[in-house]
Structure 1
Amino acid sequence: MVGIIVAFPSKDDAVNIRNLLVRYGMDVTGVCTTGAKALQYADAVDEGIVLCGYKMKDMMYTELREYLPKDFEMLLIASPDKWAGDGVDGVVCLSMPLKVYDLMNTMEMLLQTMERRRRRKKAEKKNRSPKQREVITRAKELLMYRNHMSEEEAHRYLQKCSMESGTNMVETAEMVLSVMAE
């Protein structure tokens, strides 16, 4: 599920942007004034977009980007002098004053990019050999048995470990099997 999180130091600004997005048919997962709350919302969804200002009440946008999961995009809305030289990976910038047309087009572009990435992952998943699928299934079954997880929780755990370690899911499943089999 794609989540849209709006994080600005001013609650009024955040609510106004949320209302604008909702008016144009986008579902907003959460509105907040701190980076910590934005990260909490991000943990509740698989992937998403964080719209934020240059600085929240507890952290700068660069810190928030660093802590966000890899499947999240960030849309920074700030004056150009705040972000001109930063060049942080995974951050799309819109300058103030904000134009509704630019915001909606940028959001559509980010959503389409995420959809293409999701399709690519799905196609990659289909290309696994039966042996690779068996390794993943055995690792999930072991997690379900030992840690009392549902299949979905075990799968998500493998995905998360895979993303955090920078390995593919088959390698992560093999690691889980080798560690837990002892």
Structure 2
Amino acid sequence: MASIIVAFPKAEDAKNIRNIIVRNGYQVAAVCVSGAQVLQAADNLGEGMVICSYRFRDMQYDHLKECLPRDFEMLLVASEEILDTCVAPDIVRLCLPLKVHDLMDTIEFMQSAIIRRQKKKKKMPKVRSEKEQKMIDAAKKLLMDRNSMTEEEAHRYMQKCSMDSGTNLVETAEMVFALMMN
């Protein structure tokens, strides 16, 4: 479950929203009354969502959104007039007066989007460092020279060994060196 930060300029409003969210089964990581507090909490958490008002003592919602880490979503709670001026497409908006059902449905929707993004990020192939790629290429070359394999065959062989042993390709390349050099 993604982290939730509740931020309103009045501490009482922020605590009331937090209580509603907690009563409906979610955990709130932080309750803030200023933009600086939100940014500090967001940096510590890494990813999640910010449920906030449009203005704080030290900044407005648009400046806060610009400063938030990339993996944070924003739910802006404000009057209809203020929401009409919000043109940012990546900010979810909820109109006052706030209905608990609407708030919880929106949070559920945002949580689902964050979870989908996390899963998608996990599926992306890991970017290897230059050193790791050189190790893999050298192991493939060694297999090609010693076993008369093509590069594709050597790569497939290393992938199969990697999957069979439950190790990543770099560790498999290291094992190929260890076995071939003895």
Residue aligning to 1:77: 77
Contact 1:5 1:30 in 2 (8 A): yes
Pair 54,133 (structure 1): closer, same or farther in 2 beyond 3 Å: same
Larger-gyration structure (1/2): 2
The AA in structure 2 aligned to 1:68 is L
Helix, strand or coil for the counterpart of 1:118?
Answer: helix
TM-score, normalising length from structure 2? 0.69
Measured after TM superposition, the shift of residue 92 of structure 1 is 0.4
Measured after TM superposition, the shift of residue 85 of structure 1 is 2.8
Matches within 5 A, 1:135-174: 135=130
Measured after TM superposition, the shift of residue 136 of structure 1 is 8.0
Measured after TM superposition, the shift of residue 2 of structure 1 is 2.4
Which runs of 5 or more residues in structure 2 are unaligned? 134-182
Contact 1:2 1:45 in 2 (8 A): no
Deviations 1:76-132 (A, max 9, x none): 0000101203211321000000000000000000000000000111011xx34xxx4
* CA RMSD of superposed structures (Å): 1.7
How many residue pairs end up in the alignment?
133
1:98 and 2:98 correspond = yes
Helix, strand or coil for the counterpart of 1:84?
Answer: helix
Measured after TM superposition, the shift of residue 133 of structure 1 is 3.0
Measured in 2, the distance between the counterparts of 1:17 and 1:137 equals 48
Measured after TM superposition, the shift of residue 32 of structure 1 is 1.0
Contact 2:83 2:95 in 1 (8 A): no
Measured after TM superposition, the shift of residue 46 of structure 1 is 1.9
Residue aligning to 2:171: none
Helix, strand or coil for the counterpart of 1:17?
Answer: helix
Which runs of 5 or more residues in structure 1 are unaligned? 139-182
